[in-house]
Amino acid sequence: MDSNWILLPSKSAILHMRFAFSFFLLPVFLFAYSQAPQVILINAILTFAIWHLLVYPASNGYNSYFDKDEKSIALIKNPPRVDKSLYYFSILLDLVAVMLAAIFSWSLFIAVVIYGLFSKLYSHPSVRLKKYPIVSFLIVFLFQGACVYWSSYAAISGLDIFTGWNPDFVIAGLICSCLIGATYPLTQVYQHEEDRKRGDQTLSLVLGVRGSFWFSAVMFIISGALLWTYWLRLEMINNFWLFLLLVFPVILFFCSWLLKVYKDSSEANFRNMSRLTLLSGAMMVVYFGLLIFI
């Protein structure tokens, strides 16, 4: 095994890591940061780095290595061929993440280990949970949403995760999961042909193009109801109205895209998916970022 495969990842490997995609998962971290009862700055910095610079890119890279996509994937319109450096570098990032988490938060350590394990089971051909629509959805739903929120909340505040369990803590994690769940099938809606070729029965493939949109709409409505409940319980309902204000452009784009898809199914394409993902990601970052200062 050439050590350069580990130490010097190729340009293709770096591209497949999709570091920029971590931006779209940033709202979960920001929500945890904003709701933490106390913030230990060094813990917050390390928690951010572990998830967004190590774990997420490692998961993206590992998934890309085994998918070997030939058509557009999230943030990459024309993915280059994968090479062995992508596999080894993704493993290296995971190991660094685990070691860093072990230094300051056992809760985060466990979360990173479990996340890394399931992300590999999600992609590896010997198991490939990705080909099971309900299981793959639940993995993304739980681990990119609630799991990251709960473990980040504990790590940022320096508290034992078991001390935070109350209805508000649970609801906040579910809000994150539902928001992640709302976007999940739409990121697959243009990949049906390639998924069929690989034998992956993704949730979007099972739901169909139109069904994917309606599923996303229902998940978003549930996330909104949970968010309303959360802020009502905390007697901070103005934070919910701020959410509606900032998410309004996303709703408009979603409805416009849905109408286009009903007229022409080819509108369920990479370009429109990317536009919605960028818009919704930006609005969520703004909203959850503002909560830090409110």
pLDDT in the model for residue 257: 96
Binned at pLDDT 50, 70 and 90, residue 72 comes out as: low
pLDDT tens sequence across 32-49: 999 999 999 999 999 999
Number of H helices, E strands in the chain: 14, 0
The model's pTM is 0.92
Mean pLDDT of the chain: 90
Contact by Cβ (8 Å): 192, 261: no
User: Looking at domain 4-290, which CATH architecture does it have?
Assistant: Orthogonal Bundle (1.10)
Binned at pLDDT 50, 70 and 90, residue 3 comes out as: very low
Per DSSP, the three-state class of 80 is coil
Counted residue by residue, the chain has a size of: 294
Angle 144-163-142 (CA atoms, 0-180°, nearest 5)?
15
pLDDT in the model for residue 115: 94
pLDDT in the model for residue 7: 57
Task: Please report, to the nearest 10 degrees, the dihedral formed by the alpha carbons of residues 248, 249, 250, 253 taken in order.
Answer: 130
- Mean pLDDT score, 52-75: 80
Q: How far apart are CA 192 and CA 202, in angstroms?
A: 8
pLDDT tens sequence across 171-222: 999 999 999 999 999 988 888 887 787 777 889 999 999 999 999 999 999 9
End-to-end CA distance of the chain: 52
Q: How far apart are CA 91 and CA 85, in angstroms?
A: 10
pLDDT in the model for residue 6: 52
The values of phi and psi at residue 286, to 5°, are: -60, -50
Q: If you ran DSSP here, which 8-state letter would residue 73 be given?
A: B
Domain positions in the chain: 4-290
Q: How far apart are CA 270 and CA 77, in angstroms?
A: 8
Evaluated on CA atoms 99, 100, 106, 109, the torsion sign reads: negative
Q: How far apart are CA 283 and CA 131, in angstroms?
A: 31
Q: How far apart are CA 8 and CA 240, in angstroms?
A: 46
